[in-house]
Amino acid sequence: MFQRIVQSGIDTLVQHMLEQQTDDGSWRYGFIEYGTTIDAAVIMLLRSLGSEKHQLIASIRDRIISKQQIDGGWRVYTDEPSPNLCATAECYFALLLSGLSPSDTAMIRASEVIKQLGGLSRVDSLLTKFLLAVIGQYPWPKWFPVPLSFMLLPTSSPIHFYQFSGYARVHMAPMLILADRKPNFMPPHISGIQSVIPPTSTEDRLQAGWEGHFDHRMLPIMKQWTKTITNLPGQAQDWALRHAEQFILNRIEPDGTLYSYISSTILMIHALRSIGYAVDHPTITKAVQGLESLLYIDQDNNLATIQNTSSTVWDTSLISYTLQKAGVPSDHPSILQSGHYLIARQHVKSGDWQKQVKNPIPGGWGFSNVNTMNPDIDDTSAVLRAIHGLRHDHVYNHAANRGLQWLLSMQNSDGGWAAFERNNDSRFISWLPLDGVDDAATDPSSADLTGRTLEYLGHTAGLKNHLPYIQRAVKWLYNHQEKNGSWHGRWGICYIYGTWAALTGLAAVGELTNETAILKAKDWLYAVQNDDGGFGESCGSDKNRQYMPLGSSTLSQTAWALDALISISAAPCDKMQRAVRFLLDHLFEKNITSSYPTGAALPGHMYTRYDSYSIIWPLLALANYRNKYLLSNGE
C-alpha cells in the first residue's frame, strides 16, 4: 500500500515535469528574489535614464506595493523579525520615482518606518547606499577605502583586485568608478525627494553612515595606504579608470548583461554613464534589453518581477537527472532534448577562473541561460549527473570527460570546493575595512559545494575515498562540522541544506555510516524534525550563523533532510516515513511550504525562491526512497 502511494506521487511529479519542458529542451522556472532590491533598483535605473517604459515600471511597482507589510516596511524574508531598513529605503525611493506621491498612505507609513529604524544613516548595505547615491538621495563618501587605483595593483601584490570573488569583482569595478566619479542621475523634475525623509538623515549623519560601514580597526592603515596609491600622476589615475572600464566591457555577456547578473548590470550602466556614455549608447541600450529579458510573471500572484539572473541551466540539469532517477530512461525524448540543450552550453573559452589553475582547460557550465564565461562547481556537477546516461555517445563522453577534469582542477588547496574559483579566500581581502566583506567578497570552500561535488564523484563518476583528492575533501568536511552535528550551507537555507550536501557526499564516496560525525548529524536531523514530519529552517539561520527553526515545514528542506537520511540509513525508520508522508500530502500546495525562499544569496540582504525546488527535491527524495527501500531489486 505504502509503495503504491509513493509511486503515485512519483508518477504525478514526473508527468508534471515532462509537461513543463520547453521546445529547446530546457526547463524555465522562476528564480525570484523574495525581497525587492532588484525590482526597486530597476525602477530607479529606468527613471534615471529618462525611460518611457511606463508599463514595465508600473508592473514592477505593483509587486513592490504588494510586498509592503502591515507595519509599513518591507522584509527580505518572510519571517524577518522587524522591517528591513535597506529594503524599505530602496522601495520608498523606487515608488516615489514610479509616480507615487509622498502623501500616499503607503509612502507615509514607509517614511515612518525609516525614521523609526534610525533614518538613512543606519542603512548598512553597500549596494543600497550606491543605488541611492546615484540618484542623489545619499551623499557620496568623502573618502572610500578602496580607491579606483586599486585596479592597477599587480597580482603579485599581497593584496589586489583579483582576490575579490568573481561575483564581487563585477560589482566592485563599477562601484569603484562611481565612488570616484560621484554622479547624480536624478531627473531634474524629481530632484530633491530626499527632503521627504526629515532630520534623521542630514549630510553629517549620512557621511557618518559611510564611516560606520567601514571597519574602524583598519581605517588608519587604509587611509594612509589609500593616500599613497591615489597620489599617483594624473595619467595613472586615467589608466585606472580605463582599466576598470575595460574590465567591465570584457565581461559583458551576449545578452548585454554584466556576468549575467542584473545587480551588476545596473551598476555597470550607472558607471558607464558617469564616464561619458550616452543613455542611447549601444552598450547601455543592449544592457537594458538584457534586463528586460529577465522579466518574469510570478504564477502565484500574476505580478511582474525582474530576476537577478536566470536559473535555466541549473534547473534543466537537476530536472533531467531527477527524472532519470525516478525511472525515465536516458533515451527518452525529454532526456535527449535536455542533453542537447545542456551540452551546447558547456564553456569553451577561458575566464577569470583560470588564474589559480595549472594548465587550465575550459569545460564547466554556468548557472544561467546566457552564461558563457563564469562557470561554477555546482552547475558543472549537476550537468555531469544529467548527461552521464548519454555517455555512450562520443560527443557526450568527451564533454563529460572535459567537465570532470575541470571540476577536479578547481579543488582548493584546503581540500574543499568553492562556488566559482579556486583558492579565492585571501585573508588580506578580509582586512579591507568594508562591513560584510566576508559574506561575498571572497569565495571559500563550503560544505554544500564540497558535499555535492563528492556526491557526484562518488555516486555518478564512481570515485571513492581511497583516492587522495577524495580523502582531502572528506577531511575538510569533517573539520568543518558544527558542534551540534550539522554543516553550514552557503547557497541554500542553511544548516539543513549544508548537512544534506555533506552527508550525501560522504556516503557516496564510501564513508562508513557509523562514523561518529555521521551519527551526530543524523541525531541533529532527528532533533529538528517538526511534528508534522517535515522540516523547516528560517533564513535567520543564514544571517545569525546558527540554526533557527522556521516554525513551518517546507517541501525543499523536508526533501533535503529526507534524502540525507536515506543516504546514511540501511533501512527506513518512522521519522523518515513521516517525512515521506509530509511530502506526499503537500505536493503542489501554494503556501509557505512551497513559497518560502530557501535559496541564499547575500546573508541578511537577499534570498531567493526557486520555483523548481518544490518539485525537484521532493521527486528526488521520493525516488531515492523508493529505489533503496521499496524495490525488491534495489536500484
CA distance 134 to 45: 9
How far apart are the C-alpha atoms of 628 and 289, rounded to whole Å? 48
Helices vs. strands in the chain: H and E counts, helices first: 26, 7
Is the CB of residue 619 less than 8 Å from the CB of residue 322?
yes
Active-site choice (39, 378, 414, 563): 378
CB contact set of 449 (below 8 Å; sequence gap of 6+) = 377, 378, 416, 417, 418, 419, 490, 491, 501
Locate cell 583586485: which residue? 161
Count other Cβ atoms within 10 Å, centred on residue 489. Answer: 28
Query: What is the 8-class DSSP label of residue 126?
Result: H
Q: Is 206 helix (H, G, I), strand (E, B) or coil?
A: helix
Cell output for 546: 546558527
Q: How far apart are CA 447 and CA 66, in angstroms?
A: 36
Residue 322 CB contacts under 8 Å (≥ 6 apart), including other chains: 17, 616, 619, 620, 623
Query: What's the rounded Cα separation, in Å, for the pair 396 and 497?
Result: 30
603 class by beta-carbon count within 10 Å (0-12 exposed, 13-18 middle, 19+ buried):
buried
- CB contact at 8 A, 222 and 230: no
Contacts with 259 (C-beta within 8 Å, 6 or more apart), sequence order: 166, 167, 170, 251, 253, 371, 373, 374
How many other C-beta atoms can be found within 10 angstroms of the C-beta atom of residue 551?
Answer: 10
Give, rounded to a whole angstrom, the gap between the first and last alpha carbons of the chain: 20
Measured CA to CA, the distance from residue 363 to residue 384 in angstroms comes to 11
Strands 535-537 and 549-554: antiparallel
Which helix or strand (DSSP H or E) is residue 386 part of? Answer: helix 377-387
CA 257 from chain centre, in angstroms, equals 16
Quick one: three-class SS letters along 146-196?
A: CCHHHHHCCCCCCCCHHHCCHHHHHHHHHHHHHHHHCCCCCCHHHCCHHHH
Nearest-10 Cα torsion for 502, 504, 509, 510 = 110
Q: Look-up: residue for cell 540554526? A: 547
Cβ neighbours around 325 below 10 Å, total: 19
378 labelled catalytic = yes
The one-character DSSP state at 460 is I
Burial code (b: 16+ CB inside 10 Å, e: under 16) for 17-38 equals beeebeeebbbbbbbbbbbbbb
Is-contact 298 305, C-beta < 8 A? yes
Which residues belong to the active site? 378
